[in-house]
Amino acid sequence: MVGKVTVAPGIFLWREKFSLLQQKDLLAEVMQKLDEAPLYRPVMPGTGKPFSVEESNFGALGWVSDKSGYRYQPTHPVTATPWPAIPQALLDLWEEINGTPPPQCCLINHYRGAAKMGPHQDRDENDTSAAVIGVSLGDEAMFRIGGKFVDGTWARGGKTLGVRLASGDVIAFGGVARLAFHGIDRIWPGSSRLVPGGGRLSLTLRRVTR
Ligand code: SIN
Ligand code: FE2
């Protein structure tokens, strides 16, 4: 275990921030909460093309995508019930990194096989003062972040940075990097045995409102 590593301005990495035992405990809690708020497959706004990942959320506000657009909402789009609470270990992690106020959303992404996530910005939040924090569980993945930072804003293109994330790793992007483009190029199926049935779960914590 090593401490905080600065990979670029505003982008920080903690390798194996969660020990194997902590990963197992966290995963058990996540799986239990996913029984309440099952993973489902969102579709792209407009086109209705299905995501290659499955998603769910914990917290007061969940991020969803459907034909009408991207938004935050307090209930699961399939079950129509409120999202389960964010696990305490993740609230503690947030407090350690970002302090208060606490996160309102924990987005869960489940990657299997060829699933990936195209480059995008997290910009559906009214409050972008806190860093976005991502926890990886299961298979390794290539996280790509960057783009062009010109005149104080991020655009597509430019130099990107690939960070290979393993189970238990934590990445945070805030400050000048809060609105940087980022995505997941690929995962390495079978590189971890943590997640039952295989794959990678990412847990992304965000503050949404001011
Ligand atoms: C995301 O940007 O929504 C997810 C990134 C990840 O899976 O690590
Ligand atoms: Fe994102």
Which one of the ligands is nearest to 165 CA?
A: 1
Strands (E) across 47-180 are located at 54-58, 62-66, 69-73, 105-111, 117-120, 132-138, 140-150, 153-165, 170-173
Domains identified in the chain, total number: 1
CA 120–ligand 2 middle distance (angstroms) = 6
Q: How many CB atoms neighbour CB 36 within 10 A?
A: 15
pLDDT for the residue numbered 31: 98
- pLDDT tens digits, the chain, 210 residues: what are they? 579 999 999 999 999 999 999 999 999 999 999 999 999 999 999 999 999 999 999 999 999 999 999 999 999 999 999 999 999 999 999 999 999 999 999 999 999 999 999 999 999 999 999 999 999 999 999 999 988 888 888 888 888 999 999 999 999 999 999 999 999 999 999 999 999 999 999 999 999 999
pLDDT for the residue numbered 204: 99
pLDDT for the residue numbered 1: 58
pLDDT for the residue numbered 146: 86
pLDDT for the residue numbered 149: 85
Domain of residue 176 covers 5-206
- Which residue in 42, 46, 50 sits closest to 68, CA to CA? 46
Which one of the ligands is nearest to 52 CA?
A: 1
CATH number of the domain enclosing 168: 2.60.120.590
Q: Which residues have a beta carbon within 5 Å of ligand 2, which is an ion? A: 122
pLDDT for the residue numbered 156: 86
State whether the beta carbon of 204 lies less than 6 angstroms from ligand 1.
yes
Could you give the CA distance from residue 137 to residue 117 in angstroms, rounded to a whole number? 16
Q: How far is CA 84 from CA 13, 16, 61, 104, 141, in A?
A: 27, 26, 10, 11, 26
pLDDT for the residue numbered 180: 94
State whether the beta carbon of 63 lies less than 6 angstroms from ligand 1.
no
pLDDT for the residue numbered 147: 82
